[in-house]
């Protein structure tokens, strides 16, 4: 695009120019406009191997405070947008990336500026050397995409460029994941351990009496089965281990069954989970893979915290169990508190399901 360079500068800066120009209009007339001419920028959404996103908490002197942003910077004269993205990623985060994928472009303020931001998704990150400018004050943090979307919805991320880029990158990653799944032959899930656990729980619980219990045993059995299936679906969607998610969901109300009480059941569940895992190992023998210590810790943590629906633990596995429990309760027609409903709404949107 060519611009009228004969018109006077109001101001010429290091990064952009502010000038008055004569601009032709589609109706044949001409107008005098005041416009910011900008060389363009590149912005990057860096995604690590565990699918966490790198965000910057950067101080912006113009508004006198820190804000959450993705790495970004202005293109040098004649610089290619991709080269700018590679340079800015290393300078601001100390990472280089083996893979860059352009996800879109953004016009920041076309009413008075021609700045165009090129948006990139960067993956396969390698630690390198950070090279901050003297006037850059920032911190580097990592969040899951689920946490990032929550930050956008709560207004904690207010930078428009970052909001658009994060949502476009998230969408592109999901598209890539679905395409990769479509290119390979679908194989059955390996859930033999989960199936044995469900069988054992049914055998242990089916003859228990309802007397003195907050919930009838049949409800606990239904909830155990259906929530374990929903947890597997969410795990597949979020790139987590579906069998382990199903195992945690199957055991998440074991405290209710053991004590007969709903109140405080999550806090006392660890002992009952450990007793059950011990029984599982005794019955499984060498026929089934044991539950490892690390898997046991993940299950116990998720079970112990699953009732805290109003709290974001920051642990994707714990949050998955909370979401699966909320979704299952809704589908069973159980009266739900606000925190359950908020999680249900979030999961429905995540899965792309519209309720009429």
Q: What is the mean pLDDT of residues 308-316?
A: 88
Tokens at 266, concatenated: 């999550």
3-state helix, strand, coil in the chain (%, to 5): 45, 20, 35
pLDDT at 38 over 90: no
Q: What is the CATH number of domain 44-96+124-183?
A: 3.90.79.10
Report pLDDT digits (tens) over 194-220: 999 999 999 999 899 999 999 899 998
Is pLDDT above 90 for 70? yes
State yes or no: is 134 an active-site residue. yes
Closest CA to 165 of 47, 319, 65: 47
Pair type for strands 95-107 and 53-60: unpaired
Looking at domain 192-350, what is its CATH homologous superfamily? Answer: Hypothetical protein af1432 (1.10.3210.10)
Count other Cβ atoms within 10 Å, centred on residue 275: 12
The residue from 129, 134, 183, 211 that is catalytic is 134
3-state secondary structure of 290: coil
pLDDT of residue 1 exceeding 50 = no
What is the average per-residue pLDDT within 66-72? 96
Cα separations in angstroms, 285 against 73, 189, 190, 196, 202: 58, 21, 18, 12, 19
- Sorted by where each begins, the domain ranges of the chain are 44-96+124-183, 192-350
């Amino acid at each position: 695009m060519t611009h009228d360079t004969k018109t006077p500068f109001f101001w010429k800066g290091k990064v952009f120019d502010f000038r008055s120009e004569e601009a032709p209009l589609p109706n044949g007339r001409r107008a005098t406009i005041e416009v910011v001419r900008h060389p363009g920028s590149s912005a990057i959404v860096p995604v690590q191997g565990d699918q966490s996103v790198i965000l910057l908490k950067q101080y912006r002197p113009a508004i006198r405070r820190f804000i959450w942003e993705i790495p970004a910077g202005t293109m040098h004269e004649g610089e290619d947008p991709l080269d700018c993205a590679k340079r800015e990623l290393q300078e601001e985060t100390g990472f280089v990336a083996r893979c860059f994928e352009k996800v879109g472009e953004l016009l920041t303020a076309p009413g008075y500026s021609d700045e165009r931001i090129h948006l990139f998704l960067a993956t396969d990150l390698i630690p390198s050397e950070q090279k901050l400018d003297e006037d850059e004050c920032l911190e580097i943090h990592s969040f899951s995409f689920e946490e990032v979307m929550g930050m956008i919805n709560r207004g904690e991320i207010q930078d428009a460029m970052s909001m658009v880029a994060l949502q476009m990158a998230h969408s592109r990653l999901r598209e890539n994941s679905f395409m990769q799944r479509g290119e390979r032959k679908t194989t059955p899930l390996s859930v033999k351990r989960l199936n044995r656990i469900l069988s054992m729980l049914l055998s242990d619980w089916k003859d228990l009496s309802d007397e003195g219990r907050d919930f009838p045993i049949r409800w606990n059995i239904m909830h155990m089965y259906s929530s374990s299936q929903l947890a597997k679906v969410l795990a597949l969607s979020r790139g987590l281990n579906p069998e382990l998610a199903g195992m945690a969901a199957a055991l998440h109300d074991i405290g209710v069954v053991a004590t007969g009480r709903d109140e405080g059941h999550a806090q006392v569940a660890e002992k009952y989970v450990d007793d059950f895992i011990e029984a599982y190992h005794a019955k499984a023998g060498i026929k089934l893979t044991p539950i490892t210590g690390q898997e046991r810790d993940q299950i116990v943590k998720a079970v112990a915290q699953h009732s805290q629906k109003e709290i974001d633990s920051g642990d994707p596995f714990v949050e998955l169990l909370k979401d699966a429990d909320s979704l299952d309760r809704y589908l069973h027609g159980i009266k739900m508190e606000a925190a359950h409903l908020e999680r249900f709404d979030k999961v429905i949107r995540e899965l792309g399901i519209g309720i009429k």
